[in-house]
A and B are shown apart, each in its own frame.
Chain A
Amino acid sequence: MIIDKKSQFHTTEELIIWLPRIIVIAVIAGIVFFLITMPIKQNFQIDKLQQGILMQRFVYSENCLAYKENDRIYPGIIDSNKFNDQNLRNCFQANNNVGIRLNLITNEVNTVNLNDRLTEKFDFCFDKKHFTCSNYNYYVLINDNNEIKTGLLNINMIKIK
């Protein structure tokens, strides 16, 4: 392909003349793009909300830990017989993205881990980019064969983002 010297010179000259105009057009296009996309860039983080609801399930649901007597459920009162691995696994319906460690603290500490693959990773909670963690203490009353004791239910939760 043969291009003569004159046309090459004209191309360069044209480019120099058009350069400021193209930059102005690019800036305007960019500003329009910026203004259009700005209002729709909203990010909702509901990980903590999800964890809060999951935590409440343990103290509110009769299928989890809530004590039930004569068809009445007592949210916040824990049936000591329900605090076992099998019952809590059934109640939690293992979610692969969530790991939970429950500590029932009275004179002694009873611990149940749900989803061991994740509960081993509590040490990585500092990595907020990949994990969301929650830790909350419920002050609970424990019905231990019709005897009421007080204690703390510590729920430690980790979720992969």
Chain B
Amino acid sequence: MKKGESALTFVFSLIFLAVILSIFYVLFLLSSANRTNYVINEVNLGNVNINLINYLRTPITDNKKIFDLILESYYINNYEDLEKITNNIFNKIYNADKCPLWRITGEINNERFFDYESEFDIKKYTLNPGPRNIIHIFTDKSLITRTSSLNLIIPDPNKKLKITLKEGCINE
């Protein structure tokens, strides 16, 4: 009997230990799942978009820059050259794999007069119909967008020109 009772105590002690360890393990897992993860990618304070500035000051001829072409296109109402050059520049900067989204717009007195953008497939970055959707609302790749605007002075004092560039790059 002595032997049997001793064995019983030992078995109960082990069960007790296992239960306590399991409880703490479950709570530890729950606690880890609740960890908040902040990912800071950039600070936009005082950050001028170099791509936008350089686009505007790109020389087309010796005396003409893209900024001049924008104004010229507006006044003669012919945007053919502007569209061609703009698409050419931005498709070169933002390659479709890493930065599939770009959009540039021009406004005079809050009225949009040109608007060009990349061929961007939004479906790739929205809800994924796969079974992993329960956990991942979005696909593994998310798109981080950044918008930069420049207010520019033009010869006509009654008009205000605003050029806005939106770019979207994949955050992997």
Contact = CB atoms under 8 A, between A and B. Distances in A.
A124 interface: no
A150 interface: yes
Interface string A128-161: 1000000111111100000010101000000000
Interface string B37-58: 1111111000110110111011
A30 B5 CA distance: 31
Contacts of B12: 12, 15-16, 19
Chain A contact-residue range equals 35 or more
Contacts, number: 112
Contact of B24 (A19, A30, A44): A30
B37 A8 contact: no
Interface residues of B, number: 48
A37 B5 CA distance: 41
Nearest to B57: A141
Contact of A5 (B5, B9, B41, B50): B5
Given A15-B12, A38-B31, A141 B54 contact: yes
B27 A33 contact: yes
A70 to B, nearest CB: 17
A150 B105 CA distance: 22
A12 B42 contact: no
Nearest to A149: B59
A133 to B, nearest CB: 9
B14 to A, nearest CB: 11
Interface of A: 5, 8-9, 11-12, 15-16, 19, 22-23, 26-27, 30-31, 33-34, 37-38, 41-46, 48-49, 52, 56, 59, 75-77, 128, 135-141, 148, 150, 152
